[in-house]
Chain A
Amino acid sequence: NAGVTQTPKFRVLKTGQSMTLLCAQDMNHEYMYWYRQDPGMGLRLIHYSVGEGTTAKGEVPDGYNVSRLKKQNFLLGLESAAPSQTSVYFCASSHGQGRLIGVNTIYFGEGSWLTVV
């Protein structure tokens, strides 16, 4: 019953460094998402994917890239980290298209805390 798993859970980066956050889900979900949450704020969608090999921009995509090479994995990359990217990152997944209306519940991971200094 792993659900949605994110790695790493905590990371400190220097400005300009690059890194990749990995999200894995074991529920055979079609859709996957990356959100960020800043202190005292709601979640904002960065990028999402509606299936293996597809990605799309969300609300705040700048400075991030994503890849969905395998259905169960969704990677979020920071090519050149900036202090403004200090945040908590949440991955999520859902069944998506083809399911009955209302069944498309979204499941979230536990979060990855990223600090850019």
Chain B
Amino acid sequence: DAKTTQPTSMDCAEGRAANLPCNHSTISGNEYVYWYRQIHSQGPQYIIHGLKNNETNEMASLIITEDRKSSTLILPHATLRDTAVYYCIVLRYNAGGTSYGKLTFGQGTILTVHP
């Protein structure tokens, strides 16, 4: 699975958009980009995933560049409760369209939302 690079930490003002970048320059065609977050002392929480198109759900938006070498997670209106470590993960699915889901967690980005 491709490796990812994320900034160590970021700050964001409450109510503003938080844009978290991720570099995955070695991503291959059958690898998806997943985002999880981990609030202090809790288990990781799924946020969003995508292959090549931009995606949006009730939590966030995911923007993937055309060459798929990088992506940005956008929290449109950050709140104090969004303070967490955000993990960008590249996950391969085999030819049969299945995956063991063996997520490989890097260091992630510590997002701090301040009043």
Contacts and interface: CB of A to CB of B under 8 A. Distances in A.
Contacts of B46: 105-107
Interface of B: 32, 41-46, 49, 51, 87, 93, 96-108
A36 B102 CA distance: 13
Interface of A: 4, 31, 33, 35, 41-45, 48, 50, 56, 58-59, 90, 92, 94, 96-102, 104-111
Contacts of B101: 31, 33, 94, 96, 104, 106
B20 to A, nearest CB: 15
Contacts of A58: 102
B6 to A, nearest CB: 11
A90 to B, nearest CB: 5
Q: What are the nearest 8 A-B pairs in CB distance?
A: A42-B105, A108-B43, A97-B98, A43-B105, A94-B101, A105-B46, A108-B44, A101-B97
Contacts of A94: 101
Chain B interface secondary structure, helix, strand, loop or mixed? loop
A98 B49 contact: no
Nearest to A95: B101
Nearest to B85: A42
Contacts of B97: 100-101
Nearest to A108: B43
Contacts of A101: 32, 93, 97
A69 B102 CA distance: 21
A77 B26 CA distance: 36
Nearest to B107: A42
B100 A43 contact: no
Given A48-B100, A101-B93, A108 B45 contact: yes
Contacts of A107: 46
B51 to A, nearest CB: 7
